[in-house]
Structure 1
Amino acid sequence: MTRRSQKTLSDEDRILWNLVARSAVPLKGRAAPVVELVEPSSPPAPKISPSVQALPATQPQAKPLAAPRSLDRPTLNKLAKGRLAIEARVDLHGMTQAEAYSLLFSFISRAHASGVRYVLIITGKGSSSGGDGVLRRSVPGWLATPAFRMFVSSHEQAARHHGGSGALYVRLRKIR
């Protein structure tokens, strides 16, 4: 396979590359590059192997991390009123669960590595057939899994003008 025939990375390669890129240190005298965290609207490839979904933590933790809790009321009010900046956002509209999980993990890990504190995850409200959306139900559960727990401190439903019940404010843990 030549370099020209390979246009995009597979999900496995992209996740692996993000893990390696986090450990890179800029050359002496050079500034670290600024990373744009807004994801493109085109969905990634849907197929992910189970071994990639359960990647181990890159740094051992001193104690087990608690499950993400709700944001405290003052922080939630500041985010809703725009006094506290949402530093990055990702839109999962129209994706399958596998696509959304892969994109969300990649997004959260890159945001955390960049030192971002507050992000907005837009899941959408679901189908108009009266039921909740699959991603709307699934994403809060994913944020409580061990794979995300090392990045996510807390999360809460967003204010109406940020997407309401179809979006989540997420506070990421500080880098140690």
Structure 2
Amino acid sequence: MTRRPPQVHDDDSRLFREAIGEVRPLPEAEALPEKPRPAPHPHMREADEAAVPADAMLFDYDPADLEVGEELSYLRDGYPPRLLKQLKRGQFSIQAEVDLHQMNAAAAQLTISEFLAECRHDGIRCVRIIHGKGLRSKAGGPVLKGLTDRLLRRRDDVVAFASARPMQGGTGAVIVLLKG
């Protein structure tokens, strides 16, 4: 619905001009030069990197406590093996994450696809996908974990992925490295 401006009668217009008196235009002001914006500074990345050694000391764990045989690991052909080692050691800063808990397989598949597409669009290289350990899964094993593994192996934009370190979710999450 469009609103029309109210009608101004000649008497009102004349009274207004008499009330304000003579008017003179203001001189044109020069536009101030735009102040250059400062370069972005990665404060959160620095804080994350600084916290890594402290976090490693806080979480003592016995390697025997790891769920052997349940770790996910993948490196696309043509990339150096040290890349996967660095990923497993937590040497990449996680820039985004998505949690698939309480989702069925169809919703999780769509969520992973949309999440990774958005990350690639935003220039994000390292992400965490929390799929859970499948503790409530039936005899077939962890559904979302297997689905995540299959989906990531098929995607061209995935360079490598590995199960997260214990303090990052362990075998209930996967750290993914995307093409840059």
Give the TM-score category using the shorter length.
0.5 to 0.7
Amino acid across the alignment from 1:159: R
Alpha-carbon distance in structure 1 between the residues aligned to 2:78 and 2:105: 21
The aligned residue for residue 85 of structure 1 is: 93
Alpha-carbon distance in structure 1 between the residues aligned to 2:134 and 2:115: 22
Alpha-carbon distance in structure 2 between the residues aligned to 1:87 and 1:121: 11
Alpha-carbon distance in structure 2 between the residues aligned to 1:111 and 1:126: 26
Alpha-carbon distance in structure 1 between the residues aligned to 2:119 and 2:84: 21
The aligned residue for residue 39 of structure 1 is: none
Cα offset, 1:74, TM superposition: 2.7
| Structure 2 CA distance for partners of 1:128 and 1:98, relative to 1, 3 Å | closer
Decide which structure has the larger Cα Rg and report it: 2
Cα offset, 1:128, TM superposition: 3.8
The aligned residue for residue 88 of structure 2 is: 76
Please tell me the root mean square deviation across aligned C-alpha atoms, in Å.
2.3
Amino acid across the alignment from 1:142: L
Cα offset, 1:96, TM superposition: 0.7
The aligned residue for residue 103 of structure 1 is: 111
Cα offset, 1:144, TM superposition: 1.6
Amino acid across the alignment from 2:95: E
Alpha-carbon distance in structure 1 between the residues aligned to 2:78 and 2:150: 10
| Structure 2 CA distance for partners of 1:91 and 1:68, relative to 1, 3 Å | farther
**Equivalent pairs, count:** 102
Q: Is 1:94 matched up with 2:106? A: no
Q: Is 1:160 matched up with 2:166? A: yes
1:7-61: CA deviations, max 9, x gaps? xxxxxxxxxxxxxxxxxxxxxxxxxxxxxxxxxxxxxxxxxxxxxxxxxxxxxxx
Alpha-carbon distance in structure 1 between the residues aligned to 2:137 and 2:130: 20
1:104-162: CA deviations, max 9, x gaps? 100001101111110000000013467531001111111122xx22x211111111111
User: Does the Cα contact within 8 Å between 2:84 and 2:161 map onto a contact in 1?
Assistant: no
Cα offset, 1:72, TM superposition: 2.0
Identity of aligned residues (%): 30
| Structure 2 CA distance for partners of 1:97 and 1:128, relative to 1, 3 Å | closer
User: Where do residues 1-176 of structure 1 align in structure 2 (5 Å cutoff)?
Assistant: 71-77=83-89, 79=90, 84-128=92-136, 131=139, 132-145=141-154, 148-149=155-156, 151-174=157-180
User: Does the Cα contact within 8 Å between 1:121 and 1:168 map onto a contact in 2?
Assistant: yes
| Structure 2 CA distance for partners of 1:130 and 1:98, relative to 1, 3 Å | closer
The aligned residue for residue 8 of structure 1 is: none
Task: Give me the TM-score of the superposition, normalised by structure 2.
Answer: 0.51
Alpha-carbon distance in structure 1 between the residues aligned to 2:130 and 2:137: 20
Point out where structure 2 has 5 or more consecutive residues left out of the alignment.
1-75
Alpha-carbon distance in structure 2 between the residues aligned to 1:129 and 1:109: 28
